[in-house]
Amino acid sequence: MSEPRLHGNDLTLAYDERVISRELSVAIPDGSFTVIVGPNACGKSTLLRALARMLKPTAGAVHLDGQLITQYPTKEAARRLGLLPQSSIAPEGITVADLVSRGRYPHQRLFRQWSTADTEAVADAMANTGITDLRHRRVDELSGGQRQRVWLAMVLAQQTPILLLDEPTTFLDIAHQIEVLDLCHDLHATHGRTLVAVLHDLNHACRYATHLIAMRDGEIVAEGAPSDIVDETLVRDVFGLSCRIIDDPETGTPLVIPAAKQPLVTTA
């Protein structure tokens, strides 16, 4: 059986002297919508940064398409893998269309400048994220939710086969959260892209993920299809939360219902 396109072996991940994970191995199933979940500071975003080659492991290695990810030239890596980071800062005064167009930079070469394909990719990305009407607006004039969709459009314009998303629903209200996750589902199910996302909402993760990775204290404690691994024990062990698991009435996927405190007993 061949190795997946993106995987990491025996990773030690650290910031200076602070070690987050030791001897961590992970394989992202090709064509999956993989979601990484876990409590705050468990190493979710750190793992994603390592897979995106934004954080160099102090031990172990990340491989992309059969090669060490660090061996790719920057533009070549960016044609294979796109990243939506947790927070981004746009150049002052830049318009939405100009920022989304920067997603096409990896495709620009000395003898291949802007093309009709680039124009179409930018237009499709803006349409898919619902920001076409904002294309002439300045990014710094937009709301947090609007800016998040602009950044997502820029990554979509990159048209990479693998897309990494670090908390893509940040700043979005519930309606726009579902729109973004529905878009991610479509990219995976219809267009065949491999997605890896860090999400905080376990119910969203269960509904949309085809492959779930649960982390705690820098380690992977369980992975697989949500319906195979998510139960009351996992939620308690990973999140410290007592709950019931029922079938989502819309999708049949696991739905986590936190246990309620007993109401206070009052006497007359």
The domain defined by 6-258 carries CATH number 3.40.50.300: yes
Q: For residue range 58-69, what is the model confidence (pLDDT) as tens digits?
A: 999 999 999 999
Q: What is the pLDDT of residues 16-68, one digit of tens each?
A: 889 999 999 999 999 999 999 999 999 999 999 999 999 999 999 999 999 99
What does the buried/exposed string (b/e) look like for 112-143 if buried means 16 or more CB atoms within 10 Å of the residue's CB?
Answer: eeeeeebeebbeebbebbebeebbeeebeebe
pLDDT band at 231 (very low <50, low <70, confident <90, very high): very high
Residue 73, classified by CB atoms within 10 Å of its CB into exposed (0-12), middle (13-18) or buried (19+), is exposed
Q: What is the pLDDT of residue 31?
A: 93
**pLDDT(268) > 70:** no
Query: In three state form, how does the secondary structure of 162-198 look?
Result: EEEEECCCCCCCHHHHHHHHHHHHHHHHCCCCEEEEE
Instruction: For residue range 73-88, list pLDDT tens digits in order.
Output: 999 999 999 999 887 7
pLDDT, tens only, 168-227: 888 788 988 898 899 889 888 888 889 999 999 999 999 999 999 999 999 999 999 999
As a whole number, the mean pLDDT across the chain is 91
Count CB atoms within 10 A of the CB of residue 67.
12
Domain assignments of the chain as residue spans, ordered by start: 6-258
pLDDT at residue 112, rounded to an integer: 67
pLDDT at 8 over 70: yes
Q: Is the pLDDT reported for residue 263 higher than 70? A: no
Coil/strand/helix, residue 17: coil
- pLDDT (mean) for 121-140: 93
- Residue 16 pLDDT: 87
